[in-house]
Amino acid sequence: RFSFRPEPDPYCQAKYTFCPTGSPIPVMKGEDVIEVFRLQAPVWEFKYGDLLGHLKIMHDAIGFKSTLTGKNYTMEWYELFQLGNCTFPHLRPEMNAPFWCNQGAACFFEGIDDVHWKENGTLVLVATISGSTFNKMAKWVKQDNETGIYYETWTVQASPGKGAETWFESYDCSKFVLRTYEKLAELGAEFKKIETNYTRIFLYSGEPTYLGNETSIFGPTGNKTLASAIKRFYYPFKPHLSTKEFLWSLLQIFDTVIMHRQFYLFYNFEYWFLPMKFPFIKITYEEIPLPNRHKILPGL
């Protein structure tokens, strides 16, 4: 959590505009009955259709419908500058340190694109709440959005399977949906008993080693050898590659991550070294149940 959201650097430009039709979250009448929908569709469906859906790489959102007005709304959380910028930095010749364009934020707008969510994904009713509960949730969303500002692609674990040590948690669209569901349960919402699955991207490593922050590694008195190693690691991930460059980069990435078992992770403004372990990287689509309604104890 951070105390405020910084202004994006003008260098960071999104290929697709963030939240182009966004609008303020409305204040609902207390007696209104609001339907809550689980929304899920393949990532970048507008560009690749259901291709990423076959790989179970899904984007999550939440839908709302006011029974008083009949209006629908969509709420989601995603990257300001697309996924690649949130996962890897730019290596700018005029800067010593890698430069990150990494923010994620909530987007709220009127309407639910039924075809988008139903065709290759999910649009299903999960709960019903009052207008006053919706208004309390809206206040929480504002606070969550102002303090949880950086997107994190990877979940880093010691190994696959239940009970494994988690070194770093991801912070992405599905985590926002799960946080919102949890808040609604805390406010008294009762969720239906249906299966809900989410995409997670795992890296597997031994215990991470803390390396330092931008100043301690790349500053005037920094560690030049380490700085060079980190920049060398990120170089193959640079954007806008030709097909030939992309294939060569894939070989370099394979050699570093799989053969030499090395990965440099940037997390909350700090760099960590991950000693990678088999199976190295995995995309899962696993069930995370809807929350149970929080019971308030008598007398509290």
Q: Whole-model pTM?
A: 0.89
How confident is the model over 153-180, as pLDDT tens digits? Answer: 999 999 998 889 999 999 999 999 999 9
Active-site residue, 59 included: yes
Percent of all residues in the chain with a pLDDT value above 70, rounded to a whole number: 90
pLDDT single digits (tens) 101-123: 999 999 999 999 998 898 888 99
- Whether 145 and 126 have beta carbons less than 8 Å apart is answered as no
Q: Please, is 274 exposed, middle or buried when counting C-beta atoms within 10 Å of its C-beta (0-12, 13-18, 19+)?
A: buried
Put residue 249 in one of left, alpha, beta given phi > 0 → left and psi -120 to 50 → alpha. Answer: alpha
User: Is 12 in the active site?
Assistant: no
User: Average pLDDT, whole number, for the chain?
Assistant: 90
pLDDT, tens digit (0-9, with 9 covering 90-100), for 199-245:
999 999 999 999 999 999 999 999 999 999 999 999 888 766 566 66
Q: What is the mean pLDDT of residues 73-82?
A: 94
User: From the centroid of its chain, how far is CA 68?
Assistant: 33
171 within 8 A of 148, measured Cβ to Cβ: yes
The Cα–Cα gap between 86 and 83 comes to 5
Give the per-residue pLDDT at 300.
45
Q: One of 59, 86, 101, 107 is an active-site residue; which one? A: 59
Say whether the peptide bond before residue 279 is cis (omega within 30 degrees of 0): yes
The two three-digit tokens of residue 277, written as one number: 């372990």
Spell out the residues 6+ positions from residue 147 whose beta carbon is closer than 8 angstroms to its own: 1, 2, 3
Q: Which of 86, 101, 107, 173 is catalytic?
A: 173
